[in-house]
Structure formats: structure tokens, C-alpha cells
Amino acid sequence: MNLPLPAGRSRGRIISTMNLKRAALFALVGIALLTVVLAVGFIRDVTAFSAGALAAMTLLKSFIKLLAGLSVAVFLYVFYKAQS
């Protein structure tokens, strides 16, 4: 089913301007921002744990999330560099 497009728009125009290298860079920037947020949360949890206000399991969860974010960031960085 082909729906009519708004005036001035053509099919595939947005997708054709995004190549794989730009998409990898866009994903890398996004995961870098997310990793910064996870790192701030981990630092907050370490501070709360050292004050005795947080359980060790919560600190472990925060560390695992930070490690996962860092792993994806490294993967996307290597993928971005391989696209050049």
C-alpha cells in the first residue's frame, strides 16, 4: 500500500544521506553520553556505599551497567575506525 507523500518529500531521501560511518559515529556519540551518565551514577553509588547507605548488590549492579556501557563504547569506537 503506497501512501501519498507530503509535498517536497521523496522516498529514501533521509536514509540515503546516512552512510555506515556516520551512523557509527552517531551511535558512538550517543553511547558516550550514556556511559557518562552511568559513570556518574556509579560514582554516586560508591559514595553512598562508603557512607553505609547502600547495599553491596546495588553497587555491583551499577558496576555491571557501567562495564556494559564501556564495552559497547569500545566496540562502536573500533567499528567506527574500521569504516574509514
Which grid cell is 78?
573500533
How many residues comprise the chain? 84
- What's the mean pLDDT in 29-38? 97
Q: What percent of the chain has pLDDT over 90?
A: 74
Residue 11 CA to its chain's centroid (Å): 28
Q: pTM, whole model, 2 decimals?
A: 0.76
Which grid cell is 80?
567506527
Which grid cell is 19?
552512510
Cα(41)–Cα(65) distance, integer angstroms: 10
Single out the residue of 69, 60, 62, 72 nearest to residue 41, CA to CA. Answer: 62
pLDDT at 68: 97
